[in-house]
Chain A
């Protein structure tokens, strides 16, 4: 049994870090945070990330959740902006038949509506109407959207981002690793690409992937927060010694570092569950998102406390990581939602195993 990244998995992680070190700097983000980094995204296409989950038969790399998550983790460390999930995961899953978008040319997609409970858009007669928030739609070719069709059935549709019937407004994001836009669709040209039951299955699958990749991304941010805090506490001197020498500081750092290790275990377990399509994978994906959300918040707050005054200044990078952490914490369901789902599953499982009447019947 091996519960660690190794071989190709580790190579992908190392290559992703080296690649991002070469092409993406936080200074660039600070300089033009509201612009879409087109060159960066061209590089991302060239380096093959967007083909990672595309089956080999369709010309992709045929990799799985463990490899994909390694890249999301690095994206978190580097505060990578742009619609990574939409293009690396959603696009290949939605177009699973041929692994690519309808056109053969490289296509950039955006989505963002898979996290939410209700489809935000109505589709009928080849037209979509509704409103939603999406990442960098101004740079994207297509919008993948959950929708209700004319019979009020859940489906998945694609919309041409260039359609003039879409009104886009860039939102003011405190997280510089995000470029959210509000989209108003008034009869934009749309095509249904998945109908029930496939649309339902696909939505479920995308949701599971969303949680696991968000957790991996939080892991990357969390590791960076711990590294920044440990380094700072060792360098910063007060009372004639590094503040890390004080037990009160040391123990907080130890708690943060311990959490980072457990978070890695939780992430890996959820990635493996996805990779092998484990029957209880939804429990792992809920757990990963819930655990990482609470952990990243705790570590972000610990990092701010450790840094003292400098940590709350705009010029120091820490707040960029904290803000990204807070956004990820809220994405793909807050921790409470996952905890409630897990409580539900726990009660169901134990009552079924003990063969006692379900709650609804006991009540009657």
Chain B
């Protein structure tokens, strides 16, 4: 066991901290369009300052360092309350898959513009009738000469309305078994026949979209990893997504718990100071334990990413992350008064709007990227070797 950082990793941490001291962190207020524009400008600034693509090869716009350097930078950014870069799906989900499975041309074409935020990516996996049972997806990709003709519909596609490219799973072979007939396409969202319709969620934001494909022509060179490799890439994508995501999210939850602990200092409920309530105090203690347990788990994730380990363990990370997030925001909800559904800061300093929104958003933590039930199934089958049928 050795948790000491290399001199280069220590320099990276010191460097980003120093940079953050002089950098104005953009506010995350305003409507979604304003927020997205700010996040995009922020990504450009991060890239220009050298804080994106640290673990990627230099020839594709990266810095040629190790993966942990980027993870350390992301943690420092989250700690400083920095907004997420606009192209997060490209940076953390699609980009790594293109890097690993793309052709040289694809890497040259897509990676540099994905890093600095010139091109934003979204990911079209789920369909109205294919959620947890992703392999049953029906969006078709008919190979006609050098072109794939795409027809069908995707749903819950985050940030599609702002994206230029969408990584889409389509069925290119109707004869094959469900898993083998799927291909991973890089689709230009500006192509004729693509329609994007935002879906407003219960938080009031429209992060989700429905994406419709009507005879969309996609050049065959936009297939990633070859025809029929889609399922394997999708699974690789989902485990890529979980590890680094959990690491970043952990820091955000750390910051959120600190903020909540500060928020409640002046709060009174029924004439008693909230922090004198032994039940509430203990729940803060329990959340602290959860967040620290998640911190310990992120060390295991880093070790797995750097030194190898079963991919299926990312399902453990996912369960822990969702549980921590939901407990934390459940506590936040319970610190609010009787008028908790009034989405304004209360007089005693508790930011009700933020905590209600966090609570509502947190309910999706056990749904997105594979539900908690799907994760338990993966753990049972792949970590415990239980025959599931």
Interface residues of A (CB under 8 A from B): 1-6, 9, 66, 230, 233-234, 242, 244-245, 247, 250-251, 253-255, 257-258, 261-262, 264-266, 268-272, 275-276, 283-284, 286-287, 290-291, 336, 338-347, 349-351, 353-354, 356, 359, 362-363
Q: Distance (Å) between the CB of A333 and the closest chain B CB?
A: 12
- On chain B, the number of residues with a Cβ less than 8 Å from chain A's Cβ atoms is 50
- Tell me whether A254 and B384 are in contact (CB under 8 A): yes
Beyond the given A258-B376, A287-B289, please list 19 additional residue pairs across the A-B interface where CB-CB is below 8 A: A1-B2, A2-B1, A4-B303, A230-B384, A234-B386, A245-B387, A251-B380, A257-B384, A268-B296, A269-B295, A287-B288, A290-B285, A290-B286, A291-B292, A291-B293, A345-B288, A346-B261, A353-B258, A356-B265
Q: Distance (Å) between the CB of A358 and the closest chain B CB?
A: 10
- Tell me whether B299 and A3 are in contact (CB under 8 A): yes
Q: Which residue of B lies closest to A230 (CB)?
A: B384
B99 within 8 A of A: no
Q: Distance (Å) between the CB of B80 and the closest chain A CB?
A: 13
CA distance A245 to B376 in the complex (A): 13
Q: Distance (Å) between the CB of B215 and the closest chain A CB?
A: 41
- Tell me whether B293 and A287 are in contact (CB under 8 A): yes
Q: Report which residue of B258, B261, B266, B313 has the largest number of chain A beta carbons within 10 angstroms of its beta carbon.
A: B261
Task: Report which of A257, A339, A346 forms a contact with B383, defined as CB distance below 8 A.
Answer: A257
CA distance A25 to B302 in the complex (A): 38
Please judge, given known A-B contacts A271-B1, A336-B282, whether A266 and B293 are in contact too, CB under 8 Å.
Answer: yes
CA distance A336 to B137 in the complex (A): 48
B379 within 8 A of A: yes
Q: Distance (Å) between the CB of A233 and the closest chain B CB?
A: 8
Within 8 A of A (CB), among B330-389: 373, 375-377, 379-380, 383-384, 386-389
Q: Which residues of A contact B389 (CB under 8 A)?
A: 245
Q: Which residue of B lies closest to A340 (CB)?
A: B285
- Tell me whether B293 and A9 are in contact (CB under 8 A): no
**Which 6 pairs from chain A and chain B are nearest by CB?**
A339-B285, A343-B285, A269-B296, A254-B376, A3-B303, A254-B379
Q: Which residue of A lies closest to B319 (CB)?
A: A258
CA distance A341 to B257 in the complex (A): 16
- Could you list some 15 contacts between A and B, CB below 8 A? A1-B302, A2-B307, A242-B387, A245-B388, A245-B389, A251-B380, A254-B379, A255-B319, A257-B316, A258-B315, A258-B319, A262-B297, A339-B282, A350-B258, A354-B262
Please judge, given known A-B contacts A254-B377, A272-B1, A356-B265, whether A262 and B285 are in contact too, CB under 8 Å.
Answer: no
Q: Which residues of B contact A345 (CB under 8 A)?
A: 288
- Tell me whether A258 and B380 are in contact (CB under 8 A): no
Q: Which residues of A contact B307 (CB under 8 A)?
A: 2, 4
B4 within 8 A of A: yes
- Tell me whether A346 and B284 are in contact (CB under 8 A): yes
Within 8 A of A (CB), among B301-318: 302-303, 306-307, 313, 315-316
Q: Distance (Å) between the CB of A161 and the closest chain B CB?
A: 37
Task: Report which of A250, A257, A275 forms a contact with B388, defined as CB distance below 8 A.
Answer: A250
Q: Which residues of B contact A287 (CB under 8 A)?
A: 288-289, 292-293, 296
Q: Which residues of A contact B320 (CB under 8 A)?
A: 258, 262
Q: Distance (Å) between the CB of A208 and the closest chain B CB?
A: 15
Please judge, given known A-B contacts A5-B1, A347-B284, A356-B265, whether A251 and B376 are in contact too, CB under 8 Å.
Answer: yes
Q: Which residue of B lies closest to A252 (CB)?
A: B376
B5 within 8 A of A: yes
B68 within 8 A of A: yes
CA distance A336 to B297 in the complex (A): 22
CA distance A263 to B265 in the complex (A): 31
CA distance A251 to B319 in the complex (A): 12
Q: Which residues of B contact A363 (CB under 8 A)?
A: 273
Q: Distance (Å) between the CB of B261 and the closest chain A CB?
A: 5
Please judge, given known A-B contacts A2-B303, A254-B379, A272-B1, whether A347 and B313 are in contact too, CB under 8 Å.
Answer: no
Q: Distance (Å) between the CB of B224 and the closest chain A CB?
A: 31
Task: Report which of A3, A264, A354 forms a contact with B3, defined as CB distance below 8 A.
Answer: A3
Interface residues of B (CB under 8 A from A): 1-5, 9, 68, 257-258, 261-262, 265-266, 273, 275, 281-282, 284-286, 288-289, 292-293, 295-297, 299-300, 302-303, 306-307, 313, 315-316, 319-320, 373, 375-377, 379-380, 383-384, 386-389
CA distance A251 to B289 in the complex (A): 24
Task: Report which of B1, B265, B293, B295 forms a contact with A66, defined as CB distance below 8 A.
Answer: B1
CA distance A268 to B285 in the complex (A): 21
- Tell me whether B262 and A351 are in contact (CB under 8 A): yes
CA distance A242 to B307 in the complex (A): 36
CA distance A139 to B130 in the complex (A): 66
Q: Distance (Å) between the CB of B260 and the closest chain A CB?
A: 9
Task: Report which of B68, B262, B282, B373 forms a contact with A340, defined as CB distance below 8 A.
Answer: B282
CA distance A265 to B388 in the complex (A): 27
Q: Distance (Å) between the CB of A79 and the closest chain B CB?
A: 23
- Tell me whether A253 and B386 are in contact (CB under 8 A): yes
- Tell me whether B296 and A339 are in contact (CB under 8 A): no
Q: Which residue of B lies closest to A351 (CB)?
A: B265
- Tell me whether B387 and A350 are in contact (CB under 8 A): no
CA distance A276 to B319 in the complex (A): 30
- Tell me whether A2 and B2 are in contact (CB under 8 A): yes
Q: Which residues of A contact B282 (CB under 8 A)?
A: 336, 339-340, 343
Q: Which residue of A lies closest to B309 (CB)?
A: A4
Please judge, given known A-B contacts A1-B303, A4-B1, A269-B296, whether A250 and B286 are in contact too, CB under 8 Å.
Answer: no
Q: Which residues of A contact B273 (CB under 8 A)?
A: 363
- Tell me whether B306 and A1 are in contact (CB under 8 A): yes
Q: Which residue of A lies closest to B259 (CB)?
A: A350
CA distance A275 to B4 in the complex (A): 12
Task: Report which of A265, A283, A341, A347 forms a contact with B300, defined as CB distance below 8 A.
Answer: A265
Task: Report which of B266, B292, B299, B380 forms a contact with A254, defined as CB distance below 8 A.
Answer: B380
- Tell me whether A244 and B386 are in contact (CB under 8 A): yes
Q: Report which residue of B2, B5, B313, B383 has the largest number of chain A beta carbons within 10 angstroms of its beta carbon.
A: B2
- Tell me whether A268 and B289 are in contact (CB under 8 A): no
Q: Which residue of B lies closest to A261 (CB)?
A: B316
Please judge, given known A-B contacts A250-B388, A338-B285, A346-B284, whether A265 and B265 are in contact too, CB under 8 Å.
Answer: no
CA distance A291 to B295 in the complex (A): 13
CA distance A307 to B285 in the complex (A): 33
Q: Which residue of A lies closest to B295 (CB)?
A: A269
Q: Distance (Å) between the CB of B45 and the closest chain A CB?
A: 26
Q: Which residues of B contact A251 (CB under 8 A)?
A: 373, 376-377, 380
- Tell me whether A341 and B297 are in contact (CB under 8 A): no
Task: Report which of B285, B373, B376 forms a contact with A341, defined as CB distance below 8 A.
Answer: B285
Q: Which residues of B contact A242 (CB under 8 A)?
A: 387
Q: Distance (Å) between the CB of A267 and the closest chain B CB?
A: 8
CA distance A353 to B262 in the complex (A): 10
Q: Which residues of A contact B377 (CB under 8 A)?
A: 247, 250-251, 254
